[in-house]
A = this chain, B = another copy of it.
Amino acid sequence: MTENTSVVLARRPQGKPQPEDFQLSQSVLPTSLKPGQLLLKNHFISLDAGFRNWMDEGSGDAVLPAMAIDAPVMGLVLGQVEQTEHKQYTVGDWIMARLAWQQYSITDASDFLIKVPVDDGYPPNYFLGVLGDTGLSAYFGMLDIGKPSDGETVLVSAAGGAVGSIAGQIATLKGARAVGIAGGAAKCARLVAELGYAACIDHHGDVAAQLAEHCPEGVDVYFDNVGGPLLETVLDHIALGARIALCGAVATYGDPQPGPSNLFQLTTREARMEGFFAHTQVERYPAARAELAGWLEQGKIVAPEYRLHGIEQVGPAFCDLFAGRNFGKTVVEL
């Protein structure tokens, strides 16, 4: 009889999630699997702010149904196959999957689920970060939509987050001048020192004034992880032909707000705003990962991580994302 600890949604978060919105819950794993099922032992839980979107009543969409109260919270997990009744998977396989925050997961593999090639020698947790959905979001969003070129100014919000930390480095690698936006002088200093940003805008200060200072020719690419009022401020500073990659909108998750009143800037600046997901481009993962891995090996990018330990830290770690406590990819090791 194996016990399984889950993190369940104790109540629906109001605005930013709080640790009390989550609660631990015990259950017992079934003694045997059904045909087609596999049992994963999860080693890492990935914390991704976007999942906040499915915590509200009636928030279900094509990706996920709305999460239910007292049910395990959905997220991304990384684990190893411990038992299998599915012929495509073998005991010991490393799997990244869109599954609940639990020590063990049982899935029939119809969920979003990817076998990760850990035998390539990377730490498995890289497949949740730089070589996983967040690194790939940075990669696809920056290269497919942002398309930064030599000398252009690339602005990244939540610049020290899991996605932003990689997005900024890719922009620099492509010859652009990366400018970050983050909260607080200490975090801004780290962004410049550790992640190669040319400058960093502190969103606790006057953002418009700092944009005028650090992006005097305007913003050619805005890689947006935040949305909300910040997007409106940035729109006033976009250059002709700007590209805005809408990756996330952490400012508005669970807290819908009026959008930018100056969207017409897209017309007067002949600019483009485009949203995207990494997970719909699974067939491109191997090639994208190979390029990211090459950059890691050559020391051209680094992969900062904010790691906590133990299933009881999963809820608090999720809340840390909204408080901006993380630097790099946030994971909890079980």
Seen from chain A, the residues whose Cβ lies within 8 Å of a Cβ on chain B are 61-63, 227, 231-232, 240, 246-249, 252, 256-277, 280
Contacts and interface: CB of A to CB of B under 8 A. Distances in A.
22 contacts: A61-B268, A62-B268, A227-B263, A231-B263, A246-B263, A246-B267, A247-B267, A248-B267, A252-B264, A256-B262, A258-B258, A258-B259, A259-B259, A259-B261, A260-B263, A267-B277, A268-B275, A268-B277, A269-B275, A270-B275, A270-B277, A273-B274
A271 B275 contact: yes
Contacts of A273: 263, 266, 272-274
A320 B249 CA distance: 39
A267 B63 CA distance: 12
Contacts of A270: 275-277, 280
B274 A249 contact: no
A274 B275 contact: no
Given A252-B264, A257-B261, A271 B271 contact: no
A227 B266 CA distance: 12
Given A227-B264, A273-B273, 20 more contacts: A61-B268, A246-B266, A247-B267, A257-B261, A258-B258, A258-B259, A259-B259, A259-B262, A264-B275, A267-B275, A267-B276, A267-B277, A268-B275, A268-B277, A269-B275, A270-B276, A271-B274, A271-B275, A272-B272, A272-B273
Contacts of A246: 263-264, 266-267
A73 to B, nearest CB: 19
A248 B231 CA distance: 20
A262, A269, A271, A274 — which one has the most chain B CB atoms within 10 A of its CB?
A274
Number of chain copies forming the complex: 2
A247 B274 CA distance: 16
Nearest to A231: B263
B267 A249 contact: yes
Contacts of A62: 240, 268
B280 A275 contact: no
Given A259-B258, A260-B259, A274 B276 contact: no
Contacts of A240: 62
Nearest to A260: B259
A231 to B, nearest CB: 8
Nearest to A248: B267
B256 A258 contact: no
A247, A264, A280 — which one has the most chain B CB atoms within 10 A of its CB?
A264
Given A268-B275, A270-B277, A274-B271, A261 B263 contact: no
Nearest to A242: B275
A274 B267 CA distance: 7
A144 to B, nearest CB: 11
Contacts of A262: 256, 259
Contacts of A247: 267
A27 B325 CA distance: 67
Nearest to A141: B267
